[in-house]
């Protein structure tokens, strides 16, 4: 498809929003102040278009998180909780760094039928949806790069039904097993022509971006205009990025009044459609990124894979361009000629963390610090303006200072999850609590849902991968008004009893249960939770991978050695400047490895007993 998708603003109104397609007539969204309008070709006419208020669009009303559920006399309402918990991390200026979501959108067979069984029409609709979503996310410094479109014009490649929960998990399983191996991407969304039961119009796991298991969602195409599905997709993608619903309790600020659509993470969507994010959404995504979510978003996408066509001024450096700083009226880059997308005289580069004052930074200059104990730093190569792609410790590697294992660049533990649920002083309950409660297979004790959407009983060996069980802490959960305490007393043979404290958290129709133990959490020595099962870390091959590093480095997420400061990749078997083939050299020529010491954090040891500063993680290096 050629380039026919545009972003912009109305002349004389710099705060306006325009997202248009010119593929077959003019079609798109125009926002002026608090008013939103749509433009689309009129049927059975030549050149005539319909310009109307977005309030007049035909749509199905959809809600999530609006219902209230009463358990044990307590009413659960919407909350301001992000369920994932992590080790302490150094703050990264995440909002100032451009982030890219490489997105694949899939249309199911019912959507294909609803669009007249026209594959090209469906593809254009999906690309138009992505164009709107990209526009919504640009103020957050997040670009949505559409790298794949798939239409199931024969049969559905996984089971899609009116049950959104089952459809979500079927789609996520298909994505992991079938789509990811043949089409690398960060996130996938299913746009469905099926009408989901109840008021649900979309569903997605929260804070799951970049994971192989859960980075995706399902979206019901509920409006004649693609704008409706675009708003829902942006909402579900927001959940993947760690955004929670905008509620009164959270005190969210939204520039659009409720009667003008409100903001995208509002729990329910009707008309007019929301087209912007609230202050809470900004805060949520910043917090999530600082905690280690979204490791893949800092990598520059391969623009050759993107849909939408090439154009100078779209902000992406494409074939034949030396730079691209956007349209001339929005470009502030002193190194780039916005009209021609060429470098200015004397400039060597214009973009990237390894470009400063239009010149390349020296090899070994740090460009992306490790954000947590499972992350690895990246360094400029001296030959390229962009920081190398983000990598982290291999899954299954032991966390530092914490009794756990790295998984997707994050260290998860039962202890941290209990503190988040119950506040300071909380700790995991004894194993008997997990075993007794999670063997019930009910809403308050389970290992998730099975293929029939029924709560699954935990096998004894998997009990610590079900609902989290805690002791101590506050008198009730501290995570929001929609969480209630589920307390179970278990009698002991020798007398007395053990109090097990669980929670039931209701976050809305579009969010799976966040009260389950998080993937990657240590469940036994040498084992972690994966797909609700307590599995051996050997499934990741971390020990086999580490053997090739000759005891002078660790294995990264690409299964390459990240070497100590005085040793060279790829195998850390000869003198060099450290780092990996992925991260760049971790010190400059002539720089001593003692210059990498960070005061106050000395003595941190790796599993083999070595200090980890020579790996660029924390403190001392071996000289």
The answer to whether position 36 is within a domain reads no
What's the average model confidence in pLDDT over 216-240? 95
pLDDT at position 292 over 90: no
Look at 518 and 247; give whichever has higher pLDDT: 518
Look at 65 and 95; give whichever has higher pLDDT: 95
Total tally of structural domains belonging to the chain: 3
The answer to whether position 152 is within a domain reads yes
What's the average model confidence in pLDDT over 311-339? 91
Same domain, 420 and 402: no
pLDDT, tens digit (0-9, with 9 covering 90-100), for 423-439: 899 999 999 999 999 99
**Across 180-189, 348-357, 588-597, least confident range:** 588-597
pLDDT at position 70 over 80: no
Same domain, 253 and 209: yes
By DSSP bridging, strand 561-563 and strand 359-360 are: unpaired
Going from the C-alpha of 337 to that of each of 9, 11, 14, 371, 426, the distances in angstroms are 21, 22, 21, 34, 57
Cα(226)–Cα(88) distance, integer angstroms: 41
pLDDT, tens digit (0-9, with 9 covering 90-100), for 20-30: 766 666 767 67
- Percentage of the chain surpassing pLDDT 70? 78
The answer to whether position 546 is within a domain reads yes
Provide the pLDDT confidence category of residue 83 given band limits of 50, 70 and 90: very low
236 is catalytic: yes
At residue 574, the pLDDT reads 95
Asked if residue 382 lies in contact with residue 362, where contact means CB atoms within 8 angstroms, the answer is yes
Indicate which residue of 111, 128, 236, 321 is catalytic.
236
Provide the pLDDT confidence category of residue 609 given band limits of 50, 70 and 90: very low
Q: Which domain holds residue 588?
A: 353-389+391-410+524-593
At residue 356, the pLDDT reads 96
What's the average model confidence in pLDDT over 232-257? 90
pLDDT at position 39 over 80: no
What's the average model confidence in pLDDT over 140-155? 95
At residue 259, the pLDDT reads 75
Same domain, 126 and 264: yes
At residue 557, the pLDDT reads 94
Give burial (CB, 10 Å; 0-12/13-18/19+) of 239.
buried
Same domain, 231 and 375: no
pLDDT, tens digit (0-9, with 9 covering 90-100), for 528-554: 999 899 999 999 999 899 899 999 999
pLDDT, tens digit (0-9, with 9 covering 90-100), for 159-198: 999 999 899 999 999 999 999 999 999 999 999 999 999 8
At residue 461, the pLDDT reads 97
Same domain, 235 and 93: yes
Cα(387)–Cα(211) distance, integer angstroms: 22
Same domain, 116 and 258: yes
Provide the pLDDT confidence category of residue 34 given band limits of 50, 70 and 90: low
Same domain, 462 and 397: no
Among residues 497, 517, 537, which one ends one of the domains? 517
The answer to whether position 24 is within a domain reads no
Same domain, 217 and 133: yes
At residue 602, the pLDDT reads 26
The answer to whether position 360 is within a domain reads yes
What's the average model confidence in pLDDT over 467-473? 94
The answer to whether position 38 is within a domain reads no
Domain CATH code at residue 253: 3.40.390.10
Among residues 486, 517, 548, which one ends one of the domains? 517
At residue 599, the pLDDT reads 27
At residue 422, the pLDDT reads 87
Provide the pLDDT confidence category of residue 91 given band limits of 50, 70 and 90: very low
Provide the pLDDT confidence category of residue 314 given band limits of 50, 70 and 90: confident
Going by C-beta distance under 8 Å and a sequence separation of 6 or more, which residues neighbour residue 26?
20, 39, 40, 41, 49
At residue 254, the pLDDT reads 92
Question: Chain-wide mean pLDDT for the chain?
Answer: 82
Asked if residue 471 lies in contact with residue 451, where contact means CB atoms within 8 angstroms, the answer is no
Same domain, 474 and 510: yes
Same domain, 512 and 533: no
Same domain, 491 and 538: no
Same domain, 104 and 157: yes
Among residues 463, 487, 517, which one ends one of the domains? 517
Please measure the distance between the N-terminal and C-terminal CA atoms of the chain and give it in whole angstroms: 56
The pTM for the full model equals 0.71
């Amino acid at each position: 498809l050629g380039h026919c998708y545009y972003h912009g603003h109305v002349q004389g109104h710099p705060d306006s929003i325009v997202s248009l397609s010119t593929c077959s007539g003019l079609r798109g969204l125009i926002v002026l102040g608090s008013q939103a309008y749509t433009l689309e070709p009129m049927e059975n006419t030549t050149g005539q278009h319909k310009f109307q208020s977005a309030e007049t669009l035909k749509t199905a009303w959809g809600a999530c998180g609006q219902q209230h559920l009463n358990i044990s006399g307590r009413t659960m309402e919407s909350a301001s909780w992000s369920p994932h918990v992590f080790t302490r991390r150094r703050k990264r200026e995440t909002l100032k760094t451009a982030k890219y979501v490489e997105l694949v959108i899939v249309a199911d067979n019912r959507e294909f039928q609803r669009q007249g069984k026209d594959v090209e029409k469906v593809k254009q609709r999906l690309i138009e949806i992505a164009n709107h979503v990209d526009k919504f996310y640009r103020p957050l410094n997040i670009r949505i790069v559409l790298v794949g479109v798939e239409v199931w014009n024969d049969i559905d490649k996984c089971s899609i039904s009116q049950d959104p929960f089952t459809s979500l998990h079927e789609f996520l399983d298909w994505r992991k097993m079938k789509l990811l191996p043949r089409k690398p991407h960060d996130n996938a969304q299913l746009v469905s022509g099926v009408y989901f039961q109840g008021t649900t119009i979309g569903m997605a796991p929260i804070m799951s971006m970049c994971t192989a298991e859960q980075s995706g969602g399902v979206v019901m195409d509920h409006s004649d205009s693609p704008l409706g599905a675009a708003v829902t997709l942006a909402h579900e993608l927001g959940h993947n990025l760690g955004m929670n619903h905008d509620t009164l309790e959270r005190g969210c600020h939204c520039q659009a009044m409720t009667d003008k659509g409100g903001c995208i993470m509002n729990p329910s969507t009707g008309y007019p459609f929301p087209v912007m994010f609230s202050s809470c959404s900004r805060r949520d995504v910043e917090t999530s990124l600082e905690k280690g979510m979204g490791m893949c978003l800092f990598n520059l996408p391969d623009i050759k894979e993107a849909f939408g066509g090439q154009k100078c001024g779209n902000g992406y450096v494409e074939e034949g361009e030396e730079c691209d700083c956007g349209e001339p009226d929005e470009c502030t880059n002193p190194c780039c000629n916005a009209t021609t997308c060429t470098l200015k005289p004397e400039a060597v580069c214009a973009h990237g963390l390894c470009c400063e004052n239009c010149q390349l930074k020296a090899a070994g200059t740090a460009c992306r610090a490790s954000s947590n104990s499972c992350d690895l730093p990246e360094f400029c190569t001296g030959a390229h303006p962009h920081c190398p792609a983000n990598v982290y410790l291999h899954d299954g590697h032991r966390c530092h200072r914490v009794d756990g294992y790295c998984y997707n660049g994050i260290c998860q533990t039962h202890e941290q999850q209990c503190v988040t649920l119950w506040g300071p002083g909380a700790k995991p309950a004894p194993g008997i609590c997990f075993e007794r409660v999670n063997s019930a297979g009910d809403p308050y004790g389970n290992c998730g849902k099975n293929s029939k959407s029924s709560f699954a009983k935990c096998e004894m060996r998997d009990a610590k991968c079900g609902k989290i069980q805690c002791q101590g802490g506050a008198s009730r959960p501290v995570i929001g008004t929609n969480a209630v305490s589920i307390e179970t007393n278990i009698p002991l043979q020798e007398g007395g009893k053990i109090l097990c404290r669980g929670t039931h958290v209701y976050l809305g129709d579009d969010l799976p249960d966040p009260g389950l133990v998080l993937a990657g959490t240590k469940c036994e020595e040498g084992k972690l939770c994966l797909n609700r099962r307590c599995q051996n870390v050997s499934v990741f091959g971390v020990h086999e991978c580490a053997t090739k590093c000759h005891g002078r480095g660790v294995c990264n997420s690409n299964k390459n050695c990240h070497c100590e400061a005085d040793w060279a990749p790829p195998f850390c078997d000869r003198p060099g400047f450290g780092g990996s083939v992925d991260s760049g050299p971790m010190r400059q020529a002539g720089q001593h490895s003692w210059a990498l010491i960070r005061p106050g954090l000395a003595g941190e040891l790796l599993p083999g007993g070595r200090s980890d500063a020579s790996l660029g993680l924390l403190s001392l290096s071996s000289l």
